[in-house]
Structure 1
Amino acid sequence: MQLHLVIPHAAWPDRDAEAEIVTGLALPALSWLIGRGAREKHLPLDFHTWLAQRYGLPSLPVAPLTLALDAPGEAPGYWLRADPVHLRANRDQLTLSDAAPLAIQPAEAAALAEALNGLLAEDGLRLIAPTPTRWYLHLPADPGLDTTPLHAVVGRDIHPALPRGPDALQWHRLLNELQMLLYAHPVNDARFEAGQPQINSLWLWGGGDWPLPATPEAPSDTVYTADPLVAALTAAGKGRVEPPARPGELAESGMLVLDQLADPAGYGDAHAWREAWLALERDWFAPLTERLRRGELEEVALTFPELGLAVETGTGARWRFWRGDRLPWAGA
């Protein structure tokens, strides 16, 4: 059995501070896998760019891909993700929190979507909120916007990442109107009274046509993941999606996406990021290394997209005792 582990966000966002942050981080099983394996350097890639290449797509139309999972019966046309977010004023910046810490309830999402549609309908737009955290905007045509993925803006100033394009100012005005509506909505009044962060804006990104003009190619018959985008890509490519079970319960070869580093990296929480590495070592790298040493696995492959590093470690690795252990930040 062969397993390919993909570990996105393995690079700390501030690369100048990375060496200090990883100092003293003990990951013996991962170090053994990398040190004993065949290492290959490639161009460091954002996770979404890596996914597009891996699934054989020229770009990654996130909105129509995840729409196929969240609301498969929706109308064809151009769709944008319009995810609910919280913006916080910080001196001369507006920093963004995604929906994960907002704990949005389905009833809140439905009420806000209904109110927003009253404004959006004037421009021929329609919003749906099939899940509390993933909302979608249907447009009559491609707006020609250059947008920034939500994960790239979390915890950061939004101004450099606002939509760009010929009609960008018109979209900025629309977003301001939506923000004013959200600010005055009873849902946010109740959240304020309860001490919860308000849902005070939408983040537009990931646009594309539905149905998809190109079909993804699943890189493996089975993909183990809890990431909705990876699940959507795999399903569109006719692959089988399975939840990431415990290492000892994996019975078939496949690709395994471990995204535990995403939130700490996005929010710049160095302590939580280090803790996530330790959890990956305990829950995944150590058990899989033991299975490889016992001959229960033929190969464990590792890919760190943002580090530009890929490693393949087979059963013969245990005999390469002359090769020292190596952490992923040491390069090839």
Structure 2
Amino acid sequence: MQVHLALPGLLWPARALPDVMFDLELPVLSWLLGRGRHSHSSPLTFEDWLSRRFGHDAAVPAAALRLLGEDGQPGNADWICADPAHLAFEHGHPTLADPARLELQADEIAAITVALTPTFAAVGRFSLRHSGHGYIELAAPADIDVPPLAAVVGRGAAALLPRGADAARWVRLANEVQIALHALDLNRRREDAGLPTINTLWFWGTGRLPATTRAAYQKVGGGGTLARGLARHAGVSWQPASDALPAAGSTLLIEGRLQPPAQQLDAQAWRDAMVTLDRERLAPLAAALRGGRVKKLILTALGDETTLDLELTRGDALRFWRRPRSLLDVIAP
């Protein structure tokens, strides 16, 4: 059995990592880093990395695939994600808040859908699903290149600027959306309740459902609706949680608990998540590797500056003379 564990959010910027990891004991991760072979490659967003694992290039049409992962029917149309978001200003600069904090209710989803449907009449059909994910079924393809929402949370203004021949048109649409959302009573109620307002949409992941590909895995665990859509499109089994060890085959497990605190630069929450990860996720994998149940273990850590891959076989696990290593020891390419 082979297990590939993806760890978005594990790698902080190199200049910050020494302070974030100061005096942090991660015995299992250190053991794995000491026994395994590591390599570095160019940084990728989690969404781009995941799509490549399923044979797609970096321009993967995430909207169509994610919709498939929500049991939608993308068909042959072009789609674009239109996700509700909270745009805030910190120190005079715009930043996007963590979308998980929005917690949209059913009545809010209905009100936003009614308010914004006319705005998109010229470009396509807008819908907002119960998950809180928004989509536009486009009347014509859109030439716009925008990072995934999760990749720009907490980032500065430069990360928020779209590119592509149609970028100006979508900026205008975003402005119209913000005006329409500002007028909604639901945002006043959210302010009174201390909740982040819904004051913009984030457009990304445009395109139509691609040709099917062959994946390197028989099973996928975790990763949300995009991972489910990619797995479903490739004919691969998917389960929502990444906790249970599979019985056989090649499995991709996606660990999501590190990315939110890393995006928010919440060092204490990240440290707490790392301790839990070391104990609850890495320890069982290391034990399975030592015991021979897992023949090969691959860890992929994703960050803004690099992608770190760590590979171990059972033979590596038995090389007792290899000393544990800190993440700081292997972070530099």
Q: Percent identity?
A: 37
Q: Is the 8 A contact 1:70 1:131 kept in 2?
A: no
Unaligned runs of 5+ residues in structure 1 are: none
Contact persistence 1:55–1:217 (CA under 8 A): yes
**Larger CA deviation: 200-209 vs 315-324:** 315-324
Spell out, residue by residue over 1:285-307, the C-alpha distance to the aligned partner (whole angstroms, 9 max, x if none): 11222232233332322222434
Change beyond 3 A, Cα 1:92–1:67: same
Residue in structure 2 matched with residue 138 of structure 1 by the alignment:
137
2:69 paired with 1:69: yes
1:126 to 1:158, Cα distance in 2 relative to 1, 3 A? farther
1:123-181 CA-partner distances (Å, limit 9, x unpaired): 24321111342111122112211212211210123454222233433322221121111
CA contact (8 A) 2:152 2:159 kept: no
Residues 132, 4 of structure 1: alpha-carbon distance in 2 compared, 3 angstrom cutoff: closer
Instruction: Give the AA of the match of 1:193.
Output: D
**Equivalent position amino acid for 2:108 in 1:** E
Take 2:111 and 2:221, find their aligned partners in 1: how far apart are those partners? 34
Note the C-alpha offset of 1:245.
5.1
Determine the C-alpha separation between the residues in 1 that align with 2:74 and 2:308: 39
Equivalent residue for 2:246, pick from 231, 246, 250? 250
Matched-pair contact (CA < 8 Å) for 1:37–1:313? yes
Q: CA RMSD in A?
A: 2.1
CA distance in 2 between partners of 1:91 and 1:32 (Å) = 41
CA distance in 2: counterparts of 1:246 and 1:71, whole angstroms: 23
Instruction: Read off the aligned partner of 1:214 and give its amino acid letter.
Output: A
1:186 matched to which residue of 2? 185
Change (3 A) 1:294 1:83: same
* CA distance 1:31–1:67, shift in 2 (3 Å): same
Match of 1:261 among 248, 258, 261: 258
1:118 aligns with 2:118: yes
Provide the C-alpha distance between the structure 2 equivalents of 1:118 and 1:220, rounded to a whole number of angstroms: 42
Distance 1:157 1:234 in 2: 33
Distance 1:73 1:321, change over 3 A: closer
Report if the CA contact (8 A) 2:70-2:229 is conserved.
Answer: no
For residues 160 and 315 of structure 1, the distance between their equivalents in structure 2, rounded to whole angstroms, comes to 42
Aligned residue identity for 2:291: R
Number of matched residues?
Answer: 327
1:175 aligns to what? 174
- Aligned-residue offset at 1:201: 0.7
Report which stretch shifted further, 162-171 or 318-327. Answer: 162-171
User: 1:238 is matched with which residue?
Assistant: 235
The alpha-carbon distance between structure 1 residues 99 and 18, as it changes in their structure 2 partners (threshold 3 A), is same
CA deviations 1:279-330 (Å, max 9, x no partner) are 1101111122223223333232222243433222222334312111123342
Letter in 1 for 2:114: E
1:85 paired with 2:85, answer yes
Please, what TM-score do these two structures have when normalized by structure 1? 0.90
Contact 1:94-1:158 at 8 Å conserved across structures = yes
Equivalent-residue separation in structure 2 for 1:45 and 1:159 (angstroms): 17
Q: Which moved more, 1:135-144 or 1:212-221?
A: 212-221
The answer as to whether partners of 1:84 and 1:98 remain within 8 angstroms in 2 is: no
Q: Any gaps of 5 or more consecutive residues in structure 2?
A: none
The question of whether the paired residues in 2 share the 8 Å contact of 1:106 and 1:132 is answered with: no
Q: How does 1:93-112 map to 2 (within 5 A)?
A: 93-112=93-112
Alignment of 1:275-286 (within 5 A): 275-286=272-283
- Residues 182-230 of structure 1: CA distance to partner in whole angstroms, max 9, x if unpaired? 1111221222232322111101111111xx2322432201111142212
8 Å Cα contact 1:93-1:159 kept in structure 2: no
Alpha carbons 1:71, 1:130 under 8 Å: kept = no
Aligned to 1:10, what secondary structure does the other structure show?
A: strand
Contact 1:113–1:129 under 8 Å retained in 2: yes
Deviations 1:258-289 (A, max 9, x none): 12111111111111112111111011111222
Which amino acid in 2 is paired with 1:285? L
Q: CA deviation at 1:237?
A: 0.8
Report the Cα distance in structure 2 between the residues aligned to 1:74 and 1:20, rounded to whole angstroms: 45
Matched AA of 2:294: L
Question: Is 1:145–1:168's contact at 8 Å kept on the other side of the alignment?
Answer: yes
